[in-house]
């Protein structure tokens, strides 16, 4: 998906994208947790412009709009979604219309083991605001 290169500007190194807010890496993040509340996915809730939100929806389209798809296609969608920004599992699940458990078990965890994705809180895999980013080449 070379057409996306340079389209998204990465978040500053000391920030991550979570459901409703941008939160600094340093300091508590538990106050932004929305556990138990079903939040409609929108650009407003993701703290991004509507153009970025629409671009994410377009990227996720080949997976979101179909039932069963090949594993390679899901990975081809997840990688650009997580490129240049941390995205939470539930955001990825909503964008791709997949269950969070399925994404975590079949895609996210294997991609982390392969060194293709990194988690925002590697020392706390069950952190409530865990988010994922494409690991830069050479790391």
For residue 139, what pLDDT is reported?
A: 62
Reading the chain (139 residues) residue by residue, the pLDDT tens digits are 444 444 444 443 344 444 434 443 333 333 333 333 344 454 455 566 788 889 999 999 999 998 899 999 999 999 999 999 999 999 999 999 999 999 999 999 999 999 999 999 999 999 999 999 999 876 6
CA-to-CA distance for 101 and 55, rounded, in angstroms? 24
For residue 41, what pLDDT is reported?
A: 52
b (16+ CB within 10 A) / e for 54-81: ebbeebbeebbeeeebeeeebbebbbbb
Distances (CA, A) of 70 to 34, 67, 93, 110, 137: 31, 10, 16, 15, 25
Are 83 and 8 within 8 A, CB to CB? Answer: yes
* DSSP label of 15: E
Q: Hey, where are the domains in the chain?
A: 2-134
For residue 21, what pLDDT is reported?
A: 40
CA 98 to chain CA centroid, Å, is: 13
For residue 22, what pLDDT is reported?
A: 41
For residue 47, what pLDDT is reported?
A: 60
For residue 90, what pLDDT is reported?
A: 93
CA-to-CA distance for 63 and 44, rounded, in angstroms? 23
3-state secondary structure of 57: helix
């Amino acid at each position: 998906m070379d057409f996306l290169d340079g389209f998204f500007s990465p978040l500053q190194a000391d920030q991550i994208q979570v459901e409703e807010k941008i939160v600094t890496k340093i300091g508590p993040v538990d106050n932004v947790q929305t556990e138990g509340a079903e939040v409609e996915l929108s650009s407003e809730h993701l703290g991004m412009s509507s153009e970025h939100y629409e671009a994410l929806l377009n990227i996720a389209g080949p997976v979101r709009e179909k039932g069963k798809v090949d594993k390679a296609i899901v990975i081809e969608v997840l990688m650009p979604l997580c490129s240049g920004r941390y995205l939470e599992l539930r955001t990825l699940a909503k964008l791709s219309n997949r269950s969070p458990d399925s994404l975590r078990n079949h895609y996210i965890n294997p991609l982390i083991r392969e060194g293709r994705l990194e988690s925002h809180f590697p020392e706390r895999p069950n952190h409530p605001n865990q988010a994922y980013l494409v690991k830069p080449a050479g790391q």
